[in-house]
Structure 1
């Protein structure tokens, strides 16, 4: 059965349920003080695109793209445990990368946990590499910071062009 991916409201019942499931999955691995996830309300901004994967109409996964200006931040990649191993996480990330390119973002960053082995493996297979801490996240042993260039940094180039004209 094919999976469809579309932008949806994070504040919908399905959006909230996916965020809650994502949070529960994180808290099963990390103590609350080591979880740096965004709530549905924190993701409900004009600078965030929330993507939902559906199979047979039922929500089975999600990911959020937060436009941070000079880069996009990947938040809340989650796939229902019963649906894992079917390429849904990769499909969500590919859709997110396309959405980032569409709005002129050439760099994606994410903060994840080293203990989330399947997620880290997916990110590495997709070309994400370790990077320095960013975004005010604490540099603690459980954190892993990654990034991937996905195109030309249009926004950064535009700002530099504006500065050189001044």
Structure 2
């Protein structure tokens, strides 16, 4: 599959629909208190880099966000439409967001995902993330897994 990844406005209607699909999927797996989605307004904040993957026809098929914090960044809203899964989009998005983190001077990525997100967990483990305890404003949750990865400087 040929695709492009660019930073875009998450408030675009096509993107909002993708984000809503991801939220519905999360709601089908976990109770509301175990879902930690950033709102559209939060995704539009100055400290967030919101990436969209589009197929050869220009259709949005995946999203991912990077929320920059002091000394670290958090991956958020990683979502690939079911029809586009298994084609390397998640890994490509992750690589793009890691590059954006390094551009911003961040060397530590963190994330929270759910225990039932087996594909996501596999991707994160294969790409060097390790499990940690809760970070930031998160609290312990038996349905959450917290992970982090130190980025290697390219210089």
Query: Is 2:88 the counterpart of 1:100?
Result: no
- Give per-residue Cα distances to partners, 1:71-109, cap 9 Å, x unaligned: 010001000011111110111001000110111100000
Partner of 1:38: 38
Q: Which moved more, 1:11-20 or 1:104-113?
A: 11-20
Give the 5 Å matches for 1:136-155: 136-151=137-152
- Give per-residue Cα distances to partners, 1:104-161, cap 9 Å, x unaligned: 1000000111110000000000100001210111201111000000035xxxxxxxxx
1:15 & 1:100 partners in 2: Cα distance? Answer: 22
Partner of 1:126: 127
1:50 & 1:111 partners in 2: Cα distance? Answer: 17
Partner of 2:19: 19
- Give per-residue Cα distances to partners, 1:24-72, cap 9 Å, x unaligned: 1111111112111111122110000000000020000000000012101
1:47 & 1:18 partners in 2: Cα distance? Answer: 21
Partner of 1:67: 68
Residue segments in structure 2 that go unaligned for 5+ positions in a row: none
* CA RMSD after TM alignment: 1.0
1:51 & 1:17 partners in 2: Cα distance? Answer: 15
Question: TM-score, structure 1 length as denominator?
Answer: 0.88
1:69 & 1:10 partners in 2: Cα distance? Answer: 23
Higher radius of gyration, 1 or 2: 1
Runs of 4+, deviation exceeding 6 Å:
none
Question: TM-score, structure 2 length as denominator?
Answer: 0.94
Partner of 1:9: 9
Aligned length: 152
1:23 & 1:42 partners in 2: Cα distance? Answer: 15
